[in-house]
Structure 1
């Protein structure tokens, strides 16, 4: 086969050679610097998604400010102090993600996001303004926006974690290429096609095409990201027969097999109300069965013509046949003189009895959820208008994990559906899954929608917003993003130290209650904690500024207190930047 030629590569290499010759002939440093920039552009990647990169105001803001979290204690939800805490993070999600990178790097099992679709219908705001058809770089702005967030999202995922991204066809093609680049094309798992409305539901009369489908792209972080496929439940309903031997049968050899023959009155066949693993299944020995398996062939070759020898209504117990848990199978001969058909009774196949041996079915990639989308207006007790997703959709993704103690992140939380999906999953199976929600408070969405839904769930509202007997027991902390200016006035270190407590709570999904869980930032605080007593203390967070004495270590060990080091890495990068000012 002839070697294919990459014409673009050949042309690029020729241009690079000419540039190198030019640089050797020119002494002007400014011109050489310009030629170096041209060379850099020529050597950039030439396959994949290419766009004009844009900087956001929120990104620029972090150049001179350090984002931190401040807890709003008035909005804290506590149902059961023994449960782990969930978190609602108010603020631009880029700031929240930067902070989560300090507390949850490699710790998130599932990320689900429903980002703006960039439909130019006032759904995507960039730097405090909605994009329109007049914007020259409408796709580039959206891609820059998503790229920054998805890069951090990948860092947050566990090695076996998954990300699910809802989208429609406005940006689906661009998003697929971006995710192939960020997560790796080999880690692409699936695209779900979700029917979100019925064919006869008109969106706008002036639309040329009626849109019914949205997509959900699924990527794993690594090759370890393998969805847990639930095994099919084997149906035992038809294994509802039992045969009782009332007397001993006549033993003989038929077809080189040991056979016991029972006459009428020597046995009894019972049909049970329900099937079971130990039951027998009744099968007619006729038609294709006579050629299709060993039992059918045995009946055809050796039992079908024996009514003249053994009589009518005979039961045959044939040993060493079949593949079930018994070493025999029962056969019945014809019941009437003019009949030729019979039956046989088999147990549950052996491969259905072994643990984890049930077959699994491939995951479908299409779901009709038009009815669910049509009924979600008041789901969770909040009216969210367009863009809201049903709980059923998010629960579908939670099932990717068999474990019940996973952490789920949604950094376009909006209506708070993800929180309800997590809580319903816990309610169904007693799990301890945790959620982290991030959303801004534009038009008070965080307070009036996301947080309101959490309050409703805690108070026990059903999907239509009406009071029910069921309330969701969970704990949740409400954090707001704030900023500390990067100045060299000597105050940054102490101000950051004050905000570390929030990050500790977030990382460990706990409360620092100063009873069961305590914190010591210096030796004086450590001495005070020892003096106050440790009878209730289970965990103690200790700063690297604390130097435990051997006596203190022994006391902590005697009380069974778990010592957890407060990481130095929380704001290490930011402090280095401040030092360089």
Structure 2
């Protein structure tokens, strides 16, 4: 329909008699939603979305499953058990705009019982097969976009069944201009093709904002291998002539591992280099001075265009030992090009035989096969290496066997990074507990292969396990109190503060209706710590800039907290989350210590964050006499912080 015709139709609908306001608004809405180009599908309701119209998700830690390193600087990785739409909603509060890399491997919708919608497998004969998949994935990607930081990127694995649809969907959600590229993952050959033998899958990549993307150059793996070999040869103390022979011997033996860097086959005391760097100038008008050979004292043959640099620059390189001279003045000198400068980009074609990854995962479980065709953690490590910084936060909300966390931990071990990983998965058939969690527990703690080989664990990692829980969505006083109480673990995640103390300013915390957390982690474990155990002087120990958080459930405690704060020296503001029935975080009560605190009213901040991602609530008339019994619990009954959860 032409734009002029659409405008005329809109005017007619506005003046048409016999329509209610709701009917007129619905017709205008349908007309305005009509697309002239792009992906169109029939939206299909999802049971979990309908649940979210009535209940709000929260996260509750299963502390018995926590794996805590003795290294206080270890990153805190998070595993969330629950439907990923619920988990993403909670992350919309804790991590909006904070995620740097998202990787997902969603169900491919092959029609072979790999995609479940509302507890039903979708087969190839379902007439709404593609609409259900698009409804399912679009709901999650809309929230995922909100989680990405300004420099954030998302990678999406897919195959031919939905690749075309996913590309159009992502063009619409993330913007076609933010499409960075499509990787081709060459996998094991299809042994039973009908016509064309399928040997690959795809990985689409989009960014949040193109203009904020960094250069994705990285030192190649081949270069890293060659650097390590050179260091090992030099460390043996052999003469340079012998080292040169050993290096070239090693390169010949490992040539298949060194694509594009075998010309780095020279070595001196500084390490491996190539002599391919030409000292002549490729442009007319180059410098025309004479270069004197250090042995013969005669000028080297002058190139037609002169030398690359001014004489002072050339001499500086020579004094630094970065010029390779020929045997006499008849040869032209070359600039040493160090292997450390060999960089590469992420390439569109990646090969990894996924049969090998299934075997690798089985070895982690002592030979037991618990998951089919996991993604190779080596490939994900490589992709994340290019797309992340050493302190990035990575999210995978289709966690499967937990490959992404394994990849992140291995990458951190390789380059000294502190990347944090968040995984989300349901527990269908026990996958979260028995595969995702158990795999990464073994990777952290170490395991034994079926052949008896011991694999050292990646010990410098913390893993914390959470389950989704729910609070009624109606803003009754009981629900608001309950949401405030159950949000405690989410606040720890949001602020990355996990060490809890029993006292603050001489007051017992739980007894007085609040909790207190800091970033210090004595002994490397999460537990309640009495103030005296940390230091006999609060002001001395906690005025040094350590991050601190108070969660105030009982507003009557505010006055005592303010009195305590007035007597303290605080280097940086303490984060204070305080219960309030509205948006006021008791600012007037904290006025005397306003420079020592950063106030947030709860649960209003959670409601506001959730409002941006949740479906509209169902409108029902509330009869106060019919409030569910669980919502009538007294506040003191809700004020219960005992651990709940399964066994480790």
- The TM-score normalised by the length of structure 1 is 0.75
Deviation for aligned residue 1:483: 1.4
Report the Cα distance in structure 2 between the residues aligned to 1:36 and 1:84, rounded to whole angstroms: 51
Report the Cα distance in structure 2 between the residues aligned to 1:551 and 1:278, rounded to whole angstroms: 63
In the TM superposition, 1:158-307 aligns within 5 A as 158-198=149-189, 202=191, 204=192, 207-223=194-210, 224-230=212-218, 274-275=267-268
Q: Which has the higher mean CA deviation after the structures are superposed, 371-380 or 216-225?
A: 371-380
Q: Report the equivalent of 1:62.
A: 52
Q: Report the equivalent of 1:266.
A: none
Match of 1:494 among 473, 478, 481: 481
Deviation for aligned residue 1:556: 3.4
Q: Report the equivalent of 1:255.
A: none
Check the 8 A contact 2:13/2:28 in 1, yes or no: no
Q: Which has the higher mean CA deviation after the structures are superposed, 507-516 or 77-86?
A: 507-516
Q: Report the equivalent of 2:405.
A: 419
CA separation of 1:465 and 1:118: change in aligned 2, threshold 3 A: farther
Q: Which has the higher mean CA deviation after the structures are superposed, 14-23 or 519-528?
A: 519-528
Deviation for aligned residue 1:273: 8.1
In the TM superposition, 1:45-124 aligns within 5 A as 45-80=35-70, 82=72, 83-124=74-115
Q: Are positions 1:564 and 2:564 aligned together?
A: no
Deviation for aligned residue 1:468: 2.3
CA separation of 1:414 and 1:106: change in aligned 2, threshold 3 A: same
Q: Are positions 1:364 and 2:364 aligned together?
A: no
- The CA deviation string for residues 206-241 of structure 1, in whole angstroms up to 9 with x for no partner, is x3332110000111111213352125769999xx99
Report the Cα distance in structure 1 between the residues aligned to 2:60 and 2:308, rounded to whole angstroms: 69
Report the Cα distance in structure 2 between the residues aligned to 1:575 and 1:368, rounded to whole angstroms: 41
CA separation of 1:466 and 1:29: change in aligned 2, threshold 3 A: farther
Gaps of 5+ in 2: 231-238, 242-264, 517-528, 578-599, 612-616, 623-648
Q: Are positions 1:9 and 2:41 aligned together?
A: no
Q: Which has the higher mean CA deviation after the structures are superposed, 544-553 or 47-56?
A: 544-553
Match of 1:553 among 522, 544, 565: 565
CA separation of 1:466 and 1:499: change in aligned 2, threshold 3 A: farther
Deviation for aligned residue 1:92: 0.2
Q: Which has the higher mean CA deviation after the structures are superposed, 171-180 or 517-526?
A: 517-526
Check the 8 A contact 2:266/2:272 in 1, yes or no: no
Q: Which has the higher mean CA deviation after the structures are superposed, 519-528 or 215-224?
A: 519-528
Deviation for aligned residue 1:281: 8.3
Match of 1:438 among 401, 419, 424: 424
- The CA deviation string for residues 290-328 of structure 1, in whole angstroms up to 9 with x for no partner, is 99899x9999x999xxxxxxxxx9552569955363278
Q: Report the equivalent of 2:125.
A: 134
Report the Cα distance in structure 1 between the residues aligned to 2:281 and 2:469, rounded to whole angstroms: 77
Match of 2:491 among 497, 504, 513: 504
Gaps of 5+ in 1: 1-7, 243-271, 304-312, 335-341
Check the 8 A contact 1:197/1:374 in 2, yes or no: no
Report the Cα distance in structure 1 between the residues aligned to 2:97 and 2:314, rounded to whole angstroms: 46
SS in 2 for 1:134: coil
Match of 1:343 among 331, 338, 342: 331
Report the Cα distance in structure 2 between the residues aligned to 1:398 and 1:464, rounded to whole angstroms: 30
Q: Report the equivalent of 2:437.
A: 451
Check the 8 A contact 1:84/1:510 in 2, yes or no: no
Report the Cα distance in structure 1 between the residues aligned to 2:89 and 2:96, rounded to whole angstroms: 10
CA separation of 1:317 and 1:99: change in aligned 2, threshold 3 A: same
Deviation for aligned residue 1:40: 3.0
Deviation for aligned residue 1:496: 1.2
Report the Cα distance in structure 2 between the residues aligned to 1:405 and 1:104, rounded to whole angstroms: 15
CA separation of 1:34 and 1:188: change in aligned 2, threshold 3 A: same
SS in 1 for 2:171: helix
Q: Which has the higher mean CA deviation after the structures are superposed, 216-225 or 528-537?
A: 528-537
SS in 1 for 2:64: helix
SS in 2 for 1:491: helix
Q: Which has the higher mean CA deviation after the structures are superposed, 78-87 or 414-423?
A: 78-87
Check the 8 A contact 1:379/1:390 in 2, yes or no: no
SS in 1 for 2:430: helix
Q: Report the equivalent of 1:541.
A: 549
Deviation for aligned residue 1:377: 4.6
Q: Which has the higher mean CA deviation after the structures are superposed, 399-408 or 461-470?
A: 461-470
Report the Cα distance in structure 1 between the residues aligned to 2:531 and 2:76, rounded to whole angstroms: 27
Report the Cα distance in structure 1 between the residues aligned to 2:151 and 2:94, rounded to whole angstroms: 18
Q: Report the equivalent of 1:475.
A: 462
SS in 1 for 2:79: strand
- The CA deviation string for residues 426-461 of structure 1, in whole angstroms up to 9 with x for no partner, is 111222111111000011110111011122112213
Greater Rg over alpha carbons, structure? 1
Deviation for aligned residue 1:574: 9.0
Match of 1:396 among 371, 374, 382: 382
Q: Are positions 1:325 and 2:314 aligned together?
A: yes
Check the 8 A contact 2:390/2:417 in 1, yes or no: yes
CA separation of 1:460 and 1:140: change in aligned 2, threshold 3 A: same
Report the Cα distance in structure 1 between the residues aligned to 2:343 and 2:129, rounded to whole angstroms: 43
- The CA deviation string for residues 460-508 of structure 1, in whole angstroms up to 9 with x for no partner, is 1378796525112221111111212235663212211221211112113
Deviation for aligned residue 1:37: 3.4
Deviation for aligned residue 1:185: 0.9
Report the Cα distance in structure 2 between the residues aligned to 1:574 and 1:315, rounded to whole angstroms: 76
CA separation of 1:549 and 1:326: change in aligned 2, threshold 3 A: same
Report the Cα distance in structure 1 between the residues aligned to 2:453 and 2:326, rounded to whole angstroms: 59
Q: Which has the higher mean CA deviation after the structures are superposed, 441-450 or 429-438?
A: 429-438
- The CA deviation string for residues 548-576 of structure 1, in whole angstroms up to 9 with x for no partner, is 77653354326x57611334354334999
Q: Which has the higher mean CA deviation after the structures are superposed, 519-528 or 386-395?
A: 519-528
Deviation for aligned residue 1:73: 1.6
